[in-house]
Amino acid sequence: MSDSKSLATLLDTLPQVGELKWIGIRPGRGEAMEPLTRVGVYQGSGLEGDRYKGRSTSRRQVTLIQAEHLPVIASCSGHDSVAPEALRRNLVVSGINLLALKGKWFRVGEVLLEYTGPCDPCSKMESLLGPGGYNAMRGHGGITARVLEEGEIAVGDALWREPFAV
């Protein structure tokens, strides 16, 4: 008797629950990230105070990165550590593989999000992390998401996959 499962079953199995470790908004283009302990998240637009809020057609209403990737990015860019705000993502989470959310809906606290794609690094990483910063982030940039149900999120909230998706 074999205990092997189909690839579809394996891709659909995600019992882990993550935790929101850090929240940040980008008030304006090129401005420093503003760390928060809680924030309103709005359907069709994104995080209150973030420069991307209001771009209802954007697939990049919320950006997420795994806390576990910060030491990897630091190592690959020649730093002892990298602060979350240097990477310009809205949410830093731990305990769950964000790429496993591909094609899925998921919750952070009471907010329902939809995975919309990878969050590739931009050329700004060269100036923020130094030469090679762009390549240090490749494969570690996190994901983008669209807001489906609004609410408030706070550091310490759980992140989990919803059992259904479109």
Into how many domains does the chain fold?
1
Alpha carbons 163 and 109: distance in angstroms, whole number: 15
| Within a domain: 52 | yes
| Within a domain: 8 | no
| Within a domain: 64 | yes
| Within a domain: 11 | no
In the chain, % of residues over pLDDT 70: 93
| Within a domain: 23 | yes
Q: pTM for the full model?
A: 0.89
- Of the candidates 62, 66, 60, which has an alpha carbon nearest to the alpha carbon of residue 112? 62
Q: 3-class SS at 65?
A: strand
> For residue 135, what is the domain's CATH number?
2.40.33.20
The boundaries of the domain holding residue 151 are: 16-161
Q: 3-class SS at 120?
A: coil
| Within a domain: 124 | yes
| Within a domain: 4 | no
> Running DSSP on this structure, what letter comes out for residue 100?
G
| Within a domain: 6 | no
- Of the candidates 116, 118, 121, 166, which has an alpha carbon nearest to the alpha carbon of residue 145? 116
Alpha carbons 117 and 105: distance in angstroms, whole number: 12
Per-residue pLDDT of the chain (166 residues; tens, 9 = 90+): 456 788 888 777 777 899 999 999 988 887 889 999 999 999 988 999 998 665 555 788 999 999 999 999 999 999 999 999 999 999 999 999 999 999 999 999 999 999 999 998 888 888 888 898 889 999 899 999 999 999 999 999 999 998 865 5
